[in-house]
Chain A
């Protein structure tokens, strides 16, 4: 019995020691130092045009964006923070948007009660937070809507967003031009979309299909992923299996594109070229290196968050954009979706997220 219990205690000691050791070792393994947010996507106060950059009236900017687990949303928040920090006259107040529209509404109400000079928000859903926009505007706090539009024009002072339909147009235009240049007849075109239930995905696909149709082309097979690399890998595996020969692929999102490229490598396919979407740093580096099937990407840049903070500051200070004649900031700004290829990628690298 004593022999047995001694064995047991020794075993426990060994197991316990191993567990503690593994725990200590693992705890040290959570560091991610090289992935700190970049500050490259801000416009420094010194670099800004005209007299607008000079410190002015002190303003408080309230900010709210979903705590989503996607690189693009993370870049939005990081950019907004970095841009606000670049101005000495801006106080930046951020509230967590929580898990859904209701949680974000509650957080925003708290923010509103603190009377910031202007609120910048990326809503979970523009339609669901429309009422908050109206409430804030009526309370005299200008609202800058970032990317997900409110249906009611009275609910925002400034709307700044990307062009989802335009992304599809840009991708289709590039693909059609390349195929024409190569003289491919009857090309097979694949599409890997993002989360299918989102309006933005539907707009992207519509822009893509409409523009292809103008060139007499169509999508042979379309698979929807979930904006994550592993779902992109699975969707792409299915697409490659369905189409034994492909001429071009458009993948809506560069984050899921990591998985799409992995699937293409795993299947040993390289007879086609691929166009990405959004413009991540990884995608731009791949385009620059020119050693994968990824030859271009169409932008949907999170740098819009930096611009939104700059413009919110101007709105709060009552200034206009110095290059425009108007005394105030315009009401709506839609970013163009630009096509990044090997030729111009060096200009865009600093905007990659």
Chain B
């Protein structure tokens, strides 16, 4: 906490431009009022994320309503509804963990295209015959260390090597998948470790362990972003790196840490995915980078940095896994599902560009675009 007191005013100055992306004058005025405490939290700047998230919950409700209408036979069975709810969360868990890391990177003004490849590399590395001989602890340590290590390399290239994040992580995407294919000899590596495999099948108090892991990562991410200096600095660096530097933030080191954090999340996700599939291979976690970026964006994270919420990203992931589930229970093809996913991304971003005058207006708009 002592670090906050060093430059509170300067950090605040760096943060302010960050929190006001191109907006209309009314919105800016509202933000100003909120700062002086004359407007309620809800209508002010602080409530903006919450208003957005409510919109996403509206989308979720709409999707569930579609599910009820199309498959009343399944939704009539309450035990099925509960198990389906848990299935959706389990489906969201791996991408969800990756998305938490991705959200930090994007808020910090970067992008990480290599997350899917890192998950694959960490998964493959952790399931080699040699690593498996060290048992579950060795496998988990290996996945986390590989994830963190690759993330650090990304961060070093970007912060100290001055590579554009897009290029550095694109290169890492190709290289990490290549290394994973090399290590695995292009084979599917089966995990014979029952402790690892049981991560995907264990339930505690009726809720899958995978969901607890997702919840833990989301809570840790939320606290880190909203309640620590690290989080404040992330917003500052992403919003206006020059101002952040002038405010005394070590922008390079902070950028390095953001990519390391993303890599660490990928390491956690690799363990979860390996447990689910009871195996790992170089082609796994295919296109997770796009899923994670899309989820963060529809969750309200600004692609140019400086703004975003963990809860929004989580809702984004859950919306996508609900769509997947909806298409599965209706027996519709993957093609149709991908088209709808694309439509949802565009719709969500379009809706966010409109600054909602009122909640009802927003909800009615959203319902129009999803049905």
CB pair B325 A238 closer than 8 Å: yes
The reply to whether the CB of A231 lies closer than 8 angstroms to some CB of chain B is: yes
Q: How far is the CA of A32 from the CA of B84 in the complex (A)?
A: 38
A168 at the interface (CB under 8 A from B): no
Closest to B275 in A: A262
Q: Does A241 contact B (CB under 8 A)?
A: yes
Residues of chain B from 290 to 342 with CB closer than 8 A to chain A in the complex: 324-325, 327-331, 333-335
Could you tell me if B130 and A35 are in contact, using CB atoms closer than 8 angstroms?
A: no
Q: How far is the CB of A227 from chain B (nearest CB, A)?
A: 8
**B279 contact set on A, CB distance < 8 A:** 229, 258-259, 262
Cross-chain contact A32 with B184 (CB below 8 angstroms): yes
Query: Does B98 interact with chain A (Cβ within 8 Å)?
Result: no
A262 with B84, Cβ < 8 A, contacts A32-B130, A32-B185, A71-B186 known? no
A26 and B284 in contact, given A69-B181, A258-B279, A262-B197 (Cβ under 8 angstroms): no
- Confirm or deny: A43 has a beta carbon within 8 angstroms of a beta carbon on chain B: no
* Nearest CB in chain B: distance from A90 CB, A: 23
Contact flag A230-B328 (CB < 8 Å), given A71-B188, A266-B201: no
Partner of B286, one of A220, A228, A241, A244: A228
Chain B 250-283 interface 0/1 with A at a Cβ cutoff of 8 Å (1 = within) = 0000000000000000000000010011111111
Interface residues on B, range: 35 or more
- Is A237 positioned at the interface, with any CB of B under 8 Å from its CB? yes
Residue from B185, B284, B329 in contact with A228 in the complex, judged by beta carbons closer than 8 Å: B284
- Give chain B's interface secondary structure class: helix
* B218 CB–A CB distance under 8 Å: no
- Beta-carbon contacts under 8 Å, A5-58 to B: 22-23, 26, 28-35, 37
| CB-based contact A30/B125 at 8 Å | yes
Q: How far is the CA of A232 from the CA of B277 in the complex (A)?
A: 8
Is there contact, CB below 8 Å, between B201 and A229?
no
Please name all residues of chain B whose beta carbon is closer than 8 Å to the beta carbon of A221 when the two chains form the complex.
Answer: 328, 331
Are A31 and B129 also in contact (CB < 8 A) when A22-B145, A196-B335 are?
A: yes
Asked if A29 and B130 sit within 8 Å, CB to CB, the answer is: yes
Also in contact, A241 and B333, with CB within 8 A (given A32-B128, A35-B129, A69-B283): no
Across the interface, which residues of A come within 8 angstroms of B177, CB to CB? 69
Cβ-defined partner of A226 (8 Å) among B189, B200, B286: B286
Among B149, B281, B328, B334, the residue within 8 A (CB) of A241 is B328
Task: Using A222-B331, A230-B273, A259-B276 as known contacts, list a sample of 11 further A-B pairs with CB atoms less than 8 Å apart, ordered by residue number in A.
Answer: A31-B129, A31-B130, A32-B130, A69-B177, A220-B331, A224-B333, A228-B284, A229-B278, A238-B328, A241-B329, A262-B197
26 residue pairs of the A-B complex, CB under 8 angstroms, read: A26-B142, A29-B125, A30-B125, A31-B130, A32-B128, A32-B130, A33-B130, A35-B187, A35-B189, A69-B186, A69-B282, A221-B328, A226-B283, A228-B284, A228-B286, A229-B278, A229-B281, A230-B273, A230-B276, A233-B277, A241-B87, A241-B329, A255-B188, A259-B277, A259-B279, A262-B276
Q: Which residues of B contact A (CB under 8 A)?
A: 74, 77, 80, 83-84, 87, 90-91, 125, 128-131, 134, 138, 142, 145-146, 149, 177, 180-181, 183-190, 197, 200-201, 273, 276-286, 324-325, 327-331, 333-335
Which residues of A line the B interface, CB within 8 A? 22-23, 26, 28-35, 37, 67-71, 73-74, 196, 220-224, 226-234, 237-239, 241-242, 244, 255, 258-259, 261-263, 265-266, 282
